[in-house]
Amino acid sequence: MKRGGNSGTGARVAASKGMSFSKSPVLAVSLPTWRSRVVLFVLFAAFVALGVRAMWLQGVKHDFLVVQGKSRYERTIELPATRGKIMDRNGQVLASSLPVKAVWAIPDDVLESSPDKLRQLAKLLEMSEAELRKKLDSDRTFVYLKRQVEMDVIDKIAALHIDGLDTRPEYKRFYPQGEVMTHLVGFTNVEDKGQESMELAQQATLVGATGSRRVIKDRLGRIVEDVGLSQDPHDGKDLTLSVDSKLQYIAFENVKAAVEKFKAKAGAAVVLDVHTGEVLALANWPTYNPNDRRVLTGDQLRNRVMTDTFEPGSTLKPFTVALALDTHRVRPGTVYQTAPGYLVIGDRTVHDSHPKDLLTVAQIIQKSSNVGMAKIALPMPAQEMWEMFTKSGFGQQPKFGFPGAVAGRVRPYKAWRPIEQANMAFGQGISVSLLQLARSYMIFARDGDVIPLSFQKVAEAPAGQRVISPQTAREMRVMLESVVSPEGTASQAQVAGYRVGGKTGTAQKLVNGHYSHTKYVANFVGIAPMSNPRFVIAVMIDEPGTVAHTGGSVAAPTFAALATSALRAANVQPDSPIVDIIIPEHPVEESM
């Protein structure tokens, strides 16, 4: 009470002295007045700056900030289009797309999971735990762990409930016929882009157009809202090939068996439809499984029917003879002296493997005489031979609509020396692919014209281009049928119940610029049946490793096995009463 009284007394005393309470010395400010004004001004300026900044951001920079904000939470999800199916001529599926998913992760979040879950995840993704952790050891906020994971595995991964792990839909290509059809169909990569064969050639048709969907995602990448702005995907178009799955399997199995039987480096075969130019079968060995390409090699990838060139050897002889017949220089019965089995041209000599005496033009084809061919060819202008070869498709860039097809080589006729002209008459000094060689024999099977080849099913036969007269083509078919008789070089090409014809070829391979005496390419091109040609079948066996290495002993029997099954599979009526095939103990072999 006393203290309180004193305070009140002091205030009254101060007031009695004429001093107000607010000017009490106790409350007096010791700082200069200008400093408080500066502080007040700074605070005011700061508020003005914040106001101006707010107006700038919400007015001038509004659109930019909206975009930046959306980029933090809005995402555009790609909606993949289904790639078109590839089917054979009868509607059997050769390639289709299956729904799968890609597994991706936010590394920091996934690494917070328990070691046991990471071990299980690595096992499901078919990788080691160390490999998984290496993928997750990244500064990026998004990494793919594995692409094209099948749906049953995705379900097991989802059951682990690992934070920061998500998937996106995609498609995986599946090839039901595997290695049998792969050199025709090809394959796609992980991005669903064609890499080989028809998958590559028809990429634009098959691929379709992807769609999109706009969504809002949370920090863990989970979709929390669908914005609603979307574009539907447009699936690719289906593709129907010309190939017949039955004939393809027959060709594949026979090529594989021949390579194994004759211990060869490789083999190939092609079957053409004489009436439409459709490629009914195209087989190679070695090959690969497009569904599992982990150990794929270059030799397996090579489509030898299209990309490998070789000297055709004696299979080219019918074209020079056809030219001589068509220009009325010779007749099938015109006789040539081939004794003593060799012919000197300049400083070179042409040899026959088995010397003969007098031979008609027809017998020169049947016995495959190099000397006889040289004598037929040398009187003809080089330009005419060159034009015959080019009209037949040799040395020309193929227009098959198939990637990797090569042109081969035919040297300009102005540079031919007499020995070179003679060599080309029997298939040396010129290179062709097996498909080019098969197509050229359409001239004889189709009464003298040639038509484009197609790897897609055609609705109607294309128009042909005349190369030789129908009469010449018929005369050539008679000669080619004689080659397959017991007296010809291709007696092992006979087919029970069917008349067939063709020509053998054996070419020495060039090694370091010189013809090898141990490495050969054996080939045979045949027509079946001869009464009403339906198929042209060409077979090539590369580097047979057995004593038998010629076209007549290696490629001809492969043709016979293939043609027998193909004719029956296509329900072609037999045209010959002969069912007992006679093969001589010592067959005639063509000259090389």
Residues catalogued as catalytic:
314
| Beta-bridge mates of residue 282 | 270
CA distances from 497 to 372, 577, 581, 583 (A): 32, 6, 9, 15
CB 416 within 8 A of CB 382: yes
- Whether the Cβ atoms of residue 112 and residue 148 lie closer than 8 Å to each other: no
Q: Are strands 342-345 and 335-337 parallel, antiparallel or unpaired?
A: unpaired
* Residue pair 103/193 in contact by the 8 Å Cβ criterion: no
Residues β-bridged to residue 501 = 527
* Three-state secondary structure readout of 26-93: CCCCCCCHHHHHHHHHHHHHHHHHHHHHHHHHHHHCHHHHHHHHHHHHEEEEEECCCCCCEECCCCCE
User: How far is the C-alpha of 274 from the C-alpha of 446, rounded, in Å?
Assistant: 7
Angle, in degrees to the nearest 10, between helices 245-261 and 556-569: 160
Using CA atoms, how far apart are residues 448 and 2, in angstroms rounded to an integer?
Answer: 142
DSSP SS3 for 475:
helix
What is the pairing mode between strands 266-273 and 279-285?
A: antiparallel
Question: Are 258 and 267 spatial neighbours (Cβ–Cβ below 8 Å)?
Answer: yes
Distance CA 322, CA 424 (A): 14
Assess contact for 288 and 252: CB atoms under 8 A.
Answer: no
Report which of 191, 188, 189 is spatially closest to residue 168, judged by C-alpha positions: 191
